[in-house]
Amino acid sequence: MNLGRLEIVAAVTVICAQSVSGQSSGSTLLSTARAVAALPGNPSIVAAAGLTRNNERLLSLESAGGLRNPERRLVIVGGLDGTAESAQAVLEALQWFKTDAPATLQRTWAITAVPCANPQGCATESPAAGRSPGRPSGGSQVFPPEDGFYNHDTSPESRYLWRWVAFQAPDLVLEVRSGQTLSWEVSQGAGTIHLDGPRPPRGTLAAEMWAGTPSGLAPVPAVRASTSVADAPRMLQSLLEAAASLGPSPLHEALRARAGRTPVEIARVLAERYPSSPSVSYIPAVTWSNTLRLAARLGDDGLVESVRGQMAPFLSGETATVSEPYRLTNLAGLFAFVDFSGPGRSEEALNIAVSGAEFMFAQSPDAILRSPTGWTDDMFMASSLLSRIGALTGDARYGNTVARLLLSYTETLQRPDGLFVHSARGPHPWGRGNGFAILGLTEALMFLPDDWAGRPRVLDIYRSHARALVAHQAPDGMWQQVVDEPGSYREVTVTSMTLVALARGVRLGWLDDTYRSVIDRAWTGIATHIAEDGTVVDASTSTGAGETKQYYLDRTAIFGPDDRGGAMALWAAMEMDELEMDEVDEDELRRR
């Protein structure tokens, strides 16, 4: 397949005249992007880097994974000048790279791109119709954006683009503008790129990728090119040849170093930082439970004592474990007390957990649980505790209640495609809401006995949900804040929770080995979103059930310390480590 230049130009002119909506799957923009992606070589996946305030997708062309690959990484962004021509030039340059570029350049460089980062601007008339190039319509994008991720009232596009570009791990960023003749602006830090031109103005993407240390990581050199569509191939070839001696950028090195850490290394950082506010709630419980696993893995009694100290007020009765208002999110915190119970730790912890589990049972035969929300959250909150108690006590009431809960919520909230909506009142597939659903299923399958009556049906639901989630994994391994909206932000808790469920499934034989590549990509995504000090990037804030999709899209993404994000990433690290250790053991057995 080979698109002619005139075909691309004509198609993209229509694209930008239509200002294609993210929901318009038959749009010319999407069709043209897919046609370019389908050409041999990378980038080969049409995804989305973000959304406008009107929910138009910032379509992207990406490759699956690739952070550890040897190629230099170039990110191209068009459309910031508010012209259709710059978007045309990006696609023209990509087509040339995939079909006609010298083989040495194709081997040296991996390219990802957002052809039109300002859909409203690209939708306006061309400069030939009277508008001067470079004047954005539909609102200017100023860099670096410092807050409002990703719910800014007027310019969410810059927030999405800033983070997307950074986590592509570029060695070089190219911002493309429309111009009659080819000219360059070269950012500070691009000294090994042999191009002549002034520095781009402050506040532009090209200038701030070096000055702004993107997303708290490290800088990356950038250039801004003005070019006609016809000159776009020459523009890209000139840039790649001029950058022949360019080494890895500080940003690329920083992300590669993050991704190169072992699961245990990341787990230790997170276990030593969280929880910042110990309480009986599911968030500290996830941290405590997995800190105990890490302690066993390392033989580190100090980590056990740290958990003991944080639990002490609750174990002693100094602080109540169950109090009004009764919430499942709090009662779920007692599952860590089960994990902490036993000789040498605290036998009293199990008694406290059993009391909490009994309290969780419904007070009337028509209800399943006390104080349910009807959200997918309940599937995890109840299953995590009741499944453990059922396994330890052998009391069938616990397994029966778990089965009733999971099957009832599945009937109400699982869509035909396998994804879960958050609630009947919030009928949207929120990321962490899907994480709660698949973890609730996973906890039941993990702890309840092989002859548990609910196992066959729950296993089917789990597998259906796993297949559905895999279909929506982003090219970088992450899952989105709204799972089936590729333009929503790539969020760390749903990615961590999904990895936990899939890794456990592969390890225990519920899923086949084809899921392993999905898990590996997810782990790379998580690792890059966990800073060296244990802070996290893009964890959705606490979220209730919203009636509109916009409610979920606008939930603030936390950048910094976060107990919830840290807890889920710690769990992912421990599951990843256990999966890897099992594979090492299997390899050793085969060698013997």
pLDDT of residue 592: 56
Residue 8 has pLDDT above 50, yes or no: no
pLDDT of residue 454: 98
Q: pLDDT per residue over 488-531, tens digit each? A: 999 999 999 999 999 999 999 999 999 999 999 999 999 999 99
pLDDT of residue 10: 45
Residue 6 has pLDDT above 80, yes or no: no
pLDDT of residue 589: 55
In this prediction, residue 361 has a pLDDT band, given cuts at 50, 70 and 90, of very high
Residue 191 has pLDDT above 90, yes or no: no
Could you tell me the CA-to-CA distances from 401 to 199, 387, 390 in Å, in that order? 65, 9, 10
pLDDT of residue 329: 96
Q: pLDDT: is 135 or 181 the higher one? A: 181
Kindly report the backbone phi and psi dihedral angles of residue 441, in degrees, each rounded to the nearest multiple of 5, phi listed first.
-65, -45
In this prediction, residue 27 has a pLDDT band, given cuts at 50, 70 and 90, of low
pLDDT of residue 123: 63
pLDDT of residue 11: 47
pLDDT of residue 189: 86
Report d(CA 105, CA 116) in Å as an integer: 24
pLDDT of residue 130: 37
Residue 1 has pLDDT above 60, yes or no: no
Residue 128 has pLDDT above 50, yes or no: no
Least confidently predicted of 1-15, 196-210, 342-356:
1-15
- Specify whether the backbone of 65 is left (phi greater than 0), alpha (psi in -120 to 50) or beta: left
Average of pLDDT values for 384-404? 97
Average of pLDDT values for 55-66? 92
Tell me the average pLDDT of the chain: 91
In this prediction, residue 344 has a pLDDT band, given cuts at 50, 70 and 90, of confident
Q: Which two tokens stand for residue 310?
A: 């944080």
**Is 77 in contact with 176 (CB distance < 8 Å)?**
yes
Residue 66 has pLDDT above 80, yes or no: no
Residue 28: name the closest of 52, 8, 11 by CA. 11
pLDDT of residue 233: 98
Q: Which two tokens stand for residue 318?
A: 């100094």
Q: What 3-state DSSP class applies to 553?
A: helix
Dihedral angle sign, alpha carbons of residues 347, 351, 352, 354: positive
Could you tell me the CA-to-CA distances from 276 to 279, 305, 535, 564 in Å, in that order? 10, 16, 12, 10
- Highest mean pLDDT: which of 11-15, 511-515, 583-587? 511-515
pLDDT of residue 32: 81
Report d(CA 272, CA 266) in Å as an integer: 10
pLDDT of residue 246: 94
Average of pLDDT values for 314-327? 86
Could you tell me the CA-to-CA distances from 185 to 164, 192, 223, 288, 483 in Å, in that order? 22, 14, 6, 52, 38
Residue 542 has pLDDT above 60, yes or no: yes
Name 491's bridge partners. 479
Q: Residues in the chain, how many?
A: 592
pLDDT of residue 126: 42
In this prediction, residue 292 has a pLDDT band, given cuts at 50, 70 and 90, of very high
pLDDT of residue 343: 78
Q: What 3-state DSSP class applies to 61?
A: strand
Residue 378: name the closest of 431, 332, 445 by CA. 332
In this prediction, residue 326 has a pLDDT band, given cuts at 50, 70 and 90, of confident
Residue 378 has pLDDT above 90, yes or no: yes
Q: What 3-state DSSP class applies to 11?
A: helix
Q: What 3-state DSSP class applies to 429?
A: coil
Residue 18 has pLDDT above 80, yes or no: no
Q: pLDDT: is 490 or 10 the higher one? A: 490
Please give the share of the chain, as a percent, with pLDDT higher than 90.
83
Q: What 3-state DSSP class applies to 51?
A: strand
pLDDT of residue 345: 86
Report d(CA 254, CA 300) in Å as an integer: 29
Average of pLDDT values for 310-330? 89
Report d(CA 545, CA 374) in Å as an integer: 9
Count other C-beta atoms under 10 Å from residue 253's C-beta. 15
Helix locations, 471-515, DSSP H: 492-508
Residue 3 has pLDDT above 80, yes or no: no
- Report angle CA 338, 344, 349 to the nearest 5 degrees: 30
Q: Which two tokens stand for residue 207?
A: 């200038």
Could you tell me the CA-to-CA distances from 547 to 122, 312, 455, 488, 551 in Å, in that order? 32, 40, 33, 17, 7
Q: pLDDT per residue over 551-573, tens digit each? A: 999 999 999 999 999 999 999 99
Please give the share of the chain, as a percent, with pLDDT higher than 70.
91
Report d(CA 209, CA 189) in Å as an integer: 10
pLDDT of residue 587: 64
Write the single-letter amino acid at 378.
D
Rg (CA), the chain: 26
Residue 331 has pLDDT above 60, yes or no: yes
Residue 396 has pLDDT above 60, yes or no: yes
Report d(CA 289, CA 572) in Å as an integer: 12
pLDDT of residue 323: 73
Residue 203's Cβ-count burial label (10 Å; 0-12, 13-18, 19+) is middle
**Is 572 in contact with 558 (CB distance < 8 Å)?**
no
